[in-house]
Chain A
């Protein structure tokens, strides 16, 4: 592989470890298969086709790579959930819906390095025995869909897709499937329904775990764009070498997307757990705006529970319990979970002390109220109620009791729904109320208490008539 230089002004930060994003903003690079091949492209696929499929899954398991789409589930382990006595076709779906607010990484892989994704997918398909695969891409990436279709056609022409790839006897077709603007299509079973040509109503699990009963009720592996790209690098390095990147149980690199109140928002590929939240904000992103303080950080996409500026956490380090501050949190799956939030999709949103917390929460509530698929009553009604309450709050028409109502609505959603959107929409509210109650209450009007109760009672009575 040739040495890489980057477009002036877009060089990676010295703390970055570019692997998946090696070719993003690369000088002289383009999306053609010629550029990719000259750089050693598709060599890993050729090597993979000479291996036993199971040996590939074993390497991915050894690597320990965890899903980059949100849940952080180990990819190699997921692949082994295909029933061993399965006789049905197996499918693979690349989740390119990238719709979690705060997340903007798959965009660059798709637009600037499509062949890396196709090679990763082809290797994964061979490992799990899939001969038909789809890339489910959000509708708002029209250019990305074209780039991928062109790249697939090129790969097909060069014999990396289609029948009898490289004389191995392995056949594979990959198609691009465009969504139509609904966040819930990122949820893997909603995605599958959508790919079947229906409304994307998520399926209940059990029994509809995709690896056992997915697309057309056949075993289906759904992985995120970034996760599938890692497969290629795992084979290149070997699972054990790969696992030396990052930290134990949090291996490899991952792309953090930082947005909000920092000097230089952007994307940064770092070894998992090797940088702290403070380093992300102050070193990678050039710090906060002059004179500002961190008020809140949402560390893993908008569905992750919010953390408060200045907060401290008790976590286990080796055998000991230690106390760490917000800015000391290493950006890995396990520590963020131990701090009561999650690494999620890697979208870090920074909110400084100039922002109204009520306004921020209302923006998120509005998103979830719009995107609930409407299948389950707690989620459909609750997400809208939360929005209505914070609508009142930002309009200066909420009473202090409303904050308790808000909290109780949220707590009546999670754990009571078909899909994890229930948690995704209630966790922001629950965590904002838990950590910013005073800020929320400060925006309420005590004198409104009775007026609101009366108005609500009237509305409720009218609805019953």
Chain B
């Protein structure tokens, strides 16, 4: 299936590439970010498209996609939640927050593994994963919902109710 790249998106991508006058390859991460932002994930077609755009072998793009936890090869929910797992948040109740978010968002995390860290709820509205320290250790437990950042999260249901 060929990738449908809207004109505006391609224009944005072309502009991003100009930020790297020395090496187009440097634009791999920004191009992938733009594609993931639009499509929700990085598909095989997106890898091939990025490679062609930056004149690279597809493997040079795929190795980046598979390394960085920030790139996803499977679709998340409409709202993707990232809960901090690291020490300060864990001390403030990060694991309990994960459990209550899963309950409130009807997500089953039993199939989660190192290589498949994301669990998606049955209705596809929410997906969730643990993230490592989100650099707000004084206001734990913290989480992100898409690009929104939330601190001192105590009421999982109230938080998710804000996302329609």
Contacts and interface: CB of A to CB of B under 8 A. Distances in A.
B28 interface: yes
Contact of B33 (A178, A183, A195, A260): A178
Interface in A93-143: 98-104, 106-107, 132, 138-143
Interface string A363-383: 110110011000000000000
Interface string A247-289: 0000000000111110001110000000000000000000000
Given A180-B69, A196-B23, A198-B64, A107 B132 contact: no
Given A196-B23, A216-B22, A106 B135 contact: yes
B91 A261 contact: yes
A390 interface: no
A310 B60 CA distance: 52
B55 to A, nearest CB: 12
Contacts of B139: 265
Interface string A331-375: 000000000000000010101000100001001101100110000
Contact of B29 (A177, A257, A266): A177
Interface string B62-106: 011001111100000000001001111011000000000000000
Interface string B94-129: 000000000000000000001000000000000000
Given A132-B21, A181-B68, A194-B29, A349 B87 contact: yes
A199 interface: yes
A200 B90 contact: no
B38 interface: no
Nearest to A428: B87
A197 B27 contact: yes
B69 A177 contact: no
Interface residues of A, number: 53
Contact of A259 (B60, B140, B147): B140
B138 A101 contact: no
A178 B29 contact: yes
Contacts of A181: 68-70, 131
Contacts of A199: 63-64, 67
Interface string B9-44: 000000000011111011111101100000000000
B137 interface: yes
A99 B84 CA distance: 12
Contacts of B60: 197-198
B105 to A, nearest CB: 20
B138 A360 contact: no
Which of A100, A196, A266, A267 counts the most B-chain CB atoms under 10 A from its CB?
A196
B136 interface: yes
B134 interface: yes
A366 B26 CA distance: 31
Contacts of A198: 25, 28, 60, 63-64
Nearest to B27: A197
A180 B61 CA distance: 13
Given A197-B25, A216-B22, A349-B137, A367 B70 contact: no
Contacts of B82: 140
Interface in A138-185: 138-143, 175, 177-183
A104 B137 contact: yes
A302 interface: yes
Interface residues of B, number: 43
A443 B65 CA distance: 40
B19 A175 contact: yes
A182 B87 contact: no
B25 A367 contact: no
Contacts of B19: 175, 177
A218 B149 CA distance: 37
Nearest to B94: A363
A371 B132 contact: yes
A172 B112 CA distance: 46
Contacts of A101: 86-88, 132-133, 137
Interface in A227-251: none
A102 B137 contact: yes
B144 interface: yes
B120 to A, nearest CB: 18
B135 A98 contact: yes
Nearest to A360: B87
Contacts of A182: 67-70
Given A99-B135, A103-B137, A259-B140, A180 B25 contact: no
A118 to B, nearest CB: 16
B138 A265 contact: yes
Contacts of B140: 259
B90 to A, nearest CB: 5
A175 B71 CA distance: 21
Contacts of A266: 138
Given A101-B132, A265-B137, A265-B138, A364 B68 contact: no
Interface of B: 19-23, 25-30, 32-33, 54, 60, 63-64, 67-71, 82, 85-88, 90-91, 114, 131-140, 144, 147, 149
5 pairs of A and B residues whose beta carbons are closest in the complex: A180-B70, A181-B70, A180-B68, A197-B28, A259-B137
11 contacts: A100-B133, A102-B133, A102-B137, A139-B70, A141-B135, A143-B149, A179-B70, A180-B69, A197-B54, A351-B91, A366-B85
Given A101-B137, A178-B29, 9 more contacts: A99-B133, A104-B137, A140-B131, A180-B32, A180-B71, A181-B131, A182-B69, A257-B137, A360-B87
